[in-house]
């Protein structure tokens, strides 16, 4: 603009004789082009094209060789399987760098499958209505009901009264509360219930919308510790029960509820305190204390008055659903009940009793719901096309001659990577069979493979689609998916280091067989 003005001024003062009109037009056009190029988000275009290029490169490549396991079984990678790997790379690139809203990337997952004939369109899009996606929906509605009735504020003020004004203790109090709840209820439901409580706490820390280090640490930390806590009991997530059933079929030995907790409790809670230290270093709150917070929380809590009938009704509905979900592991007659159907009964009852209304329904964060639909679709795509099995065999046979310790950690690392992209149950299901085949050749006991896999399957720290708590935390708008990914790298390294210590020293001391007899 400055150049144009100078030129116009120059023309007006008689300098036109020195600079012709044609040259002026050319300079003006160049200036406009320069402004247009300056306004282009080149980074976004780079990653957008990069993701598409990865898909095309894999899709158009010649057939890939079969994967062969140690007993000579061949795993062919079909055209659809190869295309699924290409789509997997495209989706991961777009999700991590958010070149479009993550919900839109999820829609692309279904569209590409249909257009490139990877799976039938009906199958690809039906995954968006999978019961697990509806479980996320129901969990979000529970959080909304807690928020609307004021229960979250009441709980937040009570907790702040207990933990005090130091932000380090607020971190720890929130993390311990989240992990403790996952001992008795699914980590998705915990994240949905705790999320509005954390929002209430955060508003006492910062009135502005601008993200802060404390906000990032609080919400990313909630997602991480929800995963760490969920490995301790069978109630924290479905993956434990499925993996144990799978283990019994293959090895012929049953792992009891208490045996699982015996080995997983020290690991899960050690990880929680490590994560707290991690967030105190990498996401150190801007303020050490919030002066007057305890008194303010007491005053705000007093202002809420006695608990209302609506709050009591909300608690009855939610805890009834949680009780049924928890009792499914102990009462066989309840076991066939679908967990998504149970959680969705709470949604229906909230509207039946006018706890929520149509305006609340219109405020559902569809970006998060679509994100999980896309995650289910790409996960099933890798699974059903055989691509997941092919990847698992290719990875694990590389370690078939490695020391037992390295082999166990290699399996755990594979599950850790896969669980960020596909369902954690599926990540275990594709790696355990191959690992249990290779294990006897190396003298590795199957138990340590099961527990190590379960530990990493519960802690997908890299991608938002890895677990529902990650996606729920993202709703806070305190961090980007890229920031979550970056935070997840050192956290994942911490997890692998701690797991190595347990495999090498602590689990054997506790009596877990690591080497086969």
Q: Do the beta carbons of residue 222 and residue 471 sit within 8 Å?
A: no
In whole angstroms, what is the distance from residue 15 CA to residue 462 CA? 61
Q: Among positive and negative, which fits the CA dihedral 336, 268, 400, 445? A: negative
> Looking at the DSSP assignment, which residues form a beta bridge with residue 289?
166
Structure tokens at 373: 């639909």
How many angstroms separate the Cα of 275 from the Cα of each of 455, 492, 500, 515? 15, 10, 16, 30
Q: What pLDDT does 24 receive?
A: 72
> Looking at the DSSP assignment, which residues form a beta bridge with residue 75?
67
> Looking at the DSSP assignment, which residues form a beta bridge with residue 74?
68
The values of phi and psi at residue 67, to 5°, are: -90, 140
Q: Do the beta carbons of residue 450 and residue 360 sit within 8 Å?
A: no
Instruction: State the DSSP H helix or E strand holding residue 172, giving kind and residue range, or none if neither.
Output: helix 167-181
In whole angstroms, what is the distance from residue 289 CA to residue 79 CA? 58
In whole angstroms, what is the distance from residue 376 CA to residue 196 CA? 25
| Residue 490: CA count within 13 A, CB half-sphere | 11
Among candidate residues 497, 58, 513, the one with its CA nearest the CA of residue 267: 497
Per-residue pLDDT reduced to its tens digit, 321-333? 878 877 776 777 8
Q: What pLDDT does 4 receive?
A: 46
In whole angstroms, what is the distance from residue 435 CA to residue 307 CA? 53
In whole angstroms, what is the distance from residue 14 CA to residue 26 CA? 19
Q: What pLDDT does 201 receive?
A: 83
Cβ neighbourhood burial of 201 (10 Å; 0-12, 13-18, 19+): buried
Contact partners, residue 190, CB within 8 Å, separation at least 6: 178, 181, 182, 226, 229, 469
First to last CA, the chain: 80
The values of phi and psi at residue 135, to 5°, are: -65, -40
How many angstroms separate the Cα of 260 from the Cα of each of 288, 435, 450, 480, 499? 38, 20, 10, 35, 15
Contact partners, residue 34, CB within 8 Å, separation at least 6: none
Q: Do the beta carbons of residue 99 and residue 48 sit within 8 Å?
A: yes
Q: What pLDDT does 57 receive?
A: 96
Contact partners, residue 188, CB within 8 Å, separation at least 6: 135, 136, 139, 237, 467, 468, 469, 472
- CA 367 from centroid of its chain's CA atoms: 14
Give every residue of the chain whose pLDDT is below 70, as ranges: 1-21, 33, 35-38, 184, 235, 238, 241-242, 245-246, 249, 329, 422-434, 436-437, 441, 516-517
Per-residue pLDDT reduced to its tens digit, 427-469? 666 666 667 667 776 778 888 988 998 999 899 999 887 888 8
**pTM score:** 0.71
DSSP string covering 485-514, please?
A: HHHHHHHHHHHHHHHHHIIIIIHHHHT---
Q: Do the beta carbons of residue 90 and residue 54 sit within 8 Å?
A: yes
Number of residues that this document lists for the chain: 517
Q: Do the beta carbons of residue 315 and residue 178 sit within 8 Å?
A: no
Among candidate residues 203, 177, 201, the one with its CA nearest the CA of residue 190: 177
| Residue 327: CA count within 13 A, CB half-sphere | 11
């Amino acid at each position: 603009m400055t150049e144009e003005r100078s030129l116009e001024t120059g023309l007006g003062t008689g300098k036109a004789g020195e600079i012709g009109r044609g040259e002026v037009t050319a300079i003006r056009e160049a200036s406009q082009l320069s402004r247009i190029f300056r306004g282009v988000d080149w980074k976004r275009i780079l990653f957008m094209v990069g993701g598409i290029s990865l898909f095309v490169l894999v899709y158009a490549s010649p057939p890939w060789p079969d994967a062969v396991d140690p007993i000579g079984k061949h795993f062919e990678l079909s055209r659809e399987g190869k295309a699924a790997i290409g789509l997997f790379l495209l989706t991961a690139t777009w999700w991590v760098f958010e070149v479009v809203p993550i919900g839109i990337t999820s829609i692309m997952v279904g569209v590409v499958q249909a257009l490139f004939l990877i799976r039938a369109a009906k199958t690809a899009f039906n995954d968006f209505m999978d019961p697990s996606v509806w479980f996320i929906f129901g969990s979000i509605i529970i959080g909304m009901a807690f928020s609307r009735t004021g229960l979250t504020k009441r709980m937040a003020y009570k907790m702040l009264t207990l933990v005090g004004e130091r932000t380090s203790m607020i971190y720890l109090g929130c993390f311990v509360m989240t992990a403790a709840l996952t001992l008795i209820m699914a980590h998705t439901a915990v994240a949905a219930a705790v999320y509005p409580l954390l929002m209430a706490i955060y508003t006492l820390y910062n009135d502005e919308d601008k993200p802060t280090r404390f906000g990032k640490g609080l919400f990313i930390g909630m997602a991480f510790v929800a995963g760490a806590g969920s490995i301790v009991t069978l109630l924290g997530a479905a993956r434990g029960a499925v993996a144990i059933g799978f283990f019994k079929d293959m090895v012929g030995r049953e792992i009891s509820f208490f045996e699982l907790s015996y080995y997983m409790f020290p690991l899960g809670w050690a990880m929680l305190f490590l994560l707290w230290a991690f967030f105190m270093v990498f996401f150190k709150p801007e303020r050490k204390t919030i002066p007057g917070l305890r008194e303010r929380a007491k005053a705000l809590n007093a202002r809420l008055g006695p608990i209302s009938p609506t709050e009591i009704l909300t608690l009855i509905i939610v805890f009834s659903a949680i009780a049924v979900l928890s009792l499914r592991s102990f009462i066989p007659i309840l076991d066939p009940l679908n967990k998504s159907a149970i959680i969705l009964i709470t949604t229906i009852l909230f509207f039946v009793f006018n706890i929520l209304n149509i305006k609340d329904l219109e405020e559902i964060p569809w970006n998060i719901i679509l994100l999980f639909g896309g995650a289910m679709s790409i996960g099933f795509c890798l699974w059903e096309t055989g691509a997941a099995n092919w990847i698992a065999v290719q990875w694990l046979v590389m370690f078939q001659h490695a020391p037992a310790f390295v082999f166990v950690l290699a399996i755990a690392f594979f599950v850790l990577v896969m669980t960020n992209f596909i369902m954690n149950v599926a990540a275990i299901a594709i790696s355990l069979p191959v690992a249990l085949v290779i294990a006897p050749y190396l003298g590795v006991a199957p138990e340590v493979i099961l527990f190590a896999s379960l530990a990493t399957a519960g802690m997908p720290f890299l991608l938002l689609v890895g677990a529902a708590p990650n996606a729920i935390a993202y709703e806070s708008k305190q961090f980007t998916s890229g920031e979550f990914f970056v935070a997840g790298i050192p956290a994942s390294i911490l997890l692998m280091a701690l797991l190595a210590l347990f495999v090498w020293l602590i689990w054997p001391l506790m009596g877990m067989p690591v080497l086969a007899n």
